[in-house]
Amino acid sequence: MDNLLDRADRGPCFLKIPEIAGIVVDAIQDSDRRFHRYDLHAFVVMPNHVHMLITPHVTSRHWLGPLKGFTAHEAIRTLNLPSGTRFWQPESFDRLIDDDAGCERVKRYIEWNPVKAGLVLQPEDFPYSSASVLTNAEITPPALRGASRRAKPGGGAEAPALQKTGNR
């Protein structure tokens, strides 16, 4: 599964649209900084999937559901897709990491994912990643800054995959 997703050329690629990637990046960072649902260690928003390395403060139901719901709602609205369109795949792929070496290995994997996919030459060149030198404000299109933060239940099948990798 990882090899197929890592090529970033399979399945729906809504996340390659800058406005949509910006929505997802904002929501990932907000869940850490504003809502304190987890500690965010690394992330990347690829054209067809997302990787996250986190230490959760709440169950996945209380952070993944709101994250997928809000981003799906905003993406569907932004793309002017029909209401009820499924944006995310229903499942996620979790891995538990129990040591520092494992965390570093996964962080490197996540941040080098765009390089492996041939999207950039260096991890810091990919704007939708924790490796990027760009700030949240610089990658979010001006029209989307301050967008409504109300989550609406959503998510679903045949869409970008969200892979979260948690540590404890």
- Dihedral sign computed on CA atoms, order 103, 111, 48, 138: positive
Q: What's the number of domains the chain is made of? A: 1
Tokens at residue 121, please? 């030459």
For residue 93, how many other CB atoms are within 10 A of its CB? 15
140 domain-assigned: no
- Dihedral sign computed on CA atoms, order 8, 152, 59, 24: positive
Task: Check residue 16 and report its DSSP letter.
Answer: G
* Residue position matching structure tokens 């939708």: 128
Global pTM?
0.76
| Beta bridge partners of residue 163, listed in sequence order | 51
15 domain-assigned: yes
120 domain-assigned: yes
The domain that holds 21 is classified in CATH as: 3.30.70
Q: Domain containing 63: what range?
A: 2-134+153-167
142 domain-assigned: no
Mean pLDDT within 154-165: 42
Q: What's the pLDDT band for 34 if we cut at 50, 70, 90?
A: very high
Please state, in angstroms and rounded to a whole number, the distance separating the CA atoms of residues 149 and 53.
23
Residues 82-122 have pLDDT tens digits of 988 999 998 888 888 988 999 999 999 999 999 999 999 99
Task: Check residue 92 and report its DSSP letter.
Answer: B
Please state, in angstroms and rounded to a whole number, the distance separating the CA atoms of residues 44 and 127.
9
124 domain-assigned: yes
SS (H, E, C) 108-156: HHHHHHHHHCCCCCCHHHCCCECCCCCCHHHHCCHHHCCCCCCCCCCCC
- Give yes or no for residue 146 having a pLDDT over 60: no
